[in-house]
């Protein structure tokens, strides 16, 4: 079997075209969806992520603001800015690019974002709402993964789903969404015994552990759907996922590539969350 490639660039393009139309409809009613992105420090990867987010907003016809601070900024300056953005009617979504420098209490910063503008979905109130099955904002990466299933017509009911990784931004919300779609979910992590025992049972396997080409063909059930969230840089500078694409694509039914899979969907779902926030506000 040669796997069907789930093309994140193509799906992202289709979704973004729809968002642009919806943003134009909102603008005609006097509201432009607006996203504010706060960046602290000069980390090159974070700078690229923030630039991509701001550019994606411009292409979709959204308003965006990029607010940058040097890495030694006083945390109170950021808290004051968040309070200002929380009250700003032109801003529907706020995100603080992580990681923050060590002198910041990241949890306190995330809590200072108004839950109604928390487009990353990391505020405890939004995490709780997701857990209870009535999410306001779904964290962007797992939200994007769910879009792949919907777009490819993959019915998750009763499927064995295995998630590798239990982070707050990917693994845990991913597991919750799969559970809500009525899959039977197993979450694996660094202390899991006999990982391959679990992965070989998976009809749907989501790899989000941050280890280059960790998942090999012998760990995958033939005919499985494999979603590769990982982004790893190889010594030659090239990007690769957590899945050995060459081997696994020969036996899986469907697979996301890296790059060009989950990555483009993450920013797309940030646009989705910002747009949904603006639409909710307009009513
Ligand atoms: P974290 O480092 O926060 O979490 C990694 C998880 O993987 C942890 O739960 C860890 O277990 C688990 N893990 C690590 N090693 C193993 C192992 N050998 N066996 C089983 N489990 C293991 O990473 P993130 O969740 O933030 O990100 C995961 C990957 O996804 C990274 O490559 C990241 O770059 C990428 N990413 C991609 C995005 C995209 O848009 N495509 C967006 C966000 C992330 P434990 O909890 O026990 O330590």
pLDDT digits (tens, 9 = 90+) for 204-230: 999 999 999 999 999 999 999 999 999
**Domain spans in the chain, listed from the N-terminal domain onward:** 30-114, 140-263
Report pLDDT for 283: 85
Choose which CATH entry (2.60.40.10, 1.10.1660.10, 3.30.1320.10, 3.40.50.720) describes domain 140-263.
3.40.50.720
Domain 30-114 identical in fold to domain 140-263:
yes
Distance CA 213, CA 242 (A): 4
pLDDT in tens, 134-150: 999 999 999 999 999 99
Distance CA 122, CA 87 (A): 19
From 148, 208, 273, mutation site for ligand 1 pocket: most ligand atoms within 8 A of C-beta = 208
Other residues' Cβ atoms within 10 Å of the Cβ of residue 235: 6
Catalytic residues: 53, 97, 120
pLDDT in tens, 42-63: 999 999 999 999 999 999 999 9
Q: Which one-letter DSSP state was computed for residue 117?
A: G
Cα of 208 to ligand 1 centre, how many Å? Answer: 5
Distance CA 41, CA 21 (A): 35
Q: Which fold does the domain 30-114 belong to in CATH?
A: Rossmann fold (3.40.50)
Q: What is the mean pLDDT of residues 15-37?
A: 97
Cα of 35 to ligand 1 centre, how many Å? Answer: 27
Report pLDDT for 140: 98
**Predicted confidence band of residue 77 (pLDDT cuts 50, 70, 90):** very high
Cα of 179 to ligand 1 centre, how many Å? Answer: 19
Query: Which candidate, 15, 70, 7, places its Cα nearest to that of 273?
Result: 15
Report pLDDT for 218: 98
Q: What is the mean pLDDT of residues 66-89?
A: 98
Given a cut of 90, is residue 1 above it in pLDDT? no
Cα of 167 to ligand 1 centre, how many Å? Answer: 6
Report pLDDT for 8: 98
pLDDT in tens, 153-188: 999 999 999 999 999 999 999 999 999 999 999 999
Residues having CB closer than 6 A to ligand 1 are 141, 164-167, 169-171, 188-192, 195, 208-211, 229-232, 262-263, 266
Report pLDDT for 86: 98
Q: Which atom of ligand 1 is nearest to the CA of 189?
A: 21
Q: What is the mean pLDDT of residues 246-274?
A: 98
pLDDT in tens, 87-129: 999 999 999 999 999 999 999 999 999 999 999 999 999 999 9
Of all protein residues, the one whose alpha carbon is nearest to atom 41 of ligand 1 is 263
From 209, 219, 240, mutation site for ligand 1 pocket: most ligand atoms within 8 A of C-beta = 209
Secondary structure element (H or E) that encloses residue 224, with its range:
none
Distance CA 103, CA 159 (A): 44
């Amino acid at each position: 079997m040669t796997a069907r490639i789930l093309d994140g660039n193509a799906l992202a393009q289709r979704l973004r075209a729809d968002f642009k139309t919806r943003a134009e409809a909102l603008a005609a009613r006097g509201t432009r969806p607006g996203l504010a992105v706060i960046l602290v420090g000069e980390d090159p990867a974070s700078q690229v992520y923030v630039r991509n987010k701001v550019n994606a907003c411009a292409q979709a016809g959204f308003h965006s603001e990029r607010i940058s601070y040097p890495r030694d900024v006083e945390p109170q300056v950021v808290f004051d800015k968040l309070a200002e953005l929380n009250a700003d009617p032109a801003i529907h979504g706020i995100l603080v690019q992580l990681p923050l420098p060590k002198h910041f209490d990241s949890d306190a910063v995330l809590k200072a974002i108004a839950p109604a503008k928390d487009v990353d979905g990391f505020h405890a109130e939004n995490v709780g709402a997701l857990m209870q099955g009535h999410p306001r904002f779904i964290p962007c990466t797992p939200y994007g993964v769910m879009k792949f299933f919907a777009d490819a017509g993959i019915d998750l009911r009763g499927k064995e789903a295995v998630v590798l990784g239990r982070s707050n931004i990917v693994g845990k919300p991913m597991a919750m969404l799969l559970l809500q779609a009525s899959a039977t979910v197993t979450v694996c992590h660094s202390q899991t015994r006999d990982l391959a025992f679990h992965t070989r049972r998976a009809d749907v396997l989501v790899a989000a552990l941050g280890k280059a080409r960790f998942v090999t063909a012998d760990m995958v059930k033939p005919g499985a759907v494999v979603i590769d969230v990982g982004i790893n840089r190889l010594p030659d500078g090239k990007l690769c996922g957590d899945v050995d694409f060459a081997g696994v694509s020969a036996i899986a039914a469907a697979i996301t590539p890296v790059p060009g899979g989950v990555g483009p969907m993450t920013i797309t779902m940030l646009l989705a969350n910002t747009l949904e926030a603006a639409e909710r506000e307009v009513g």
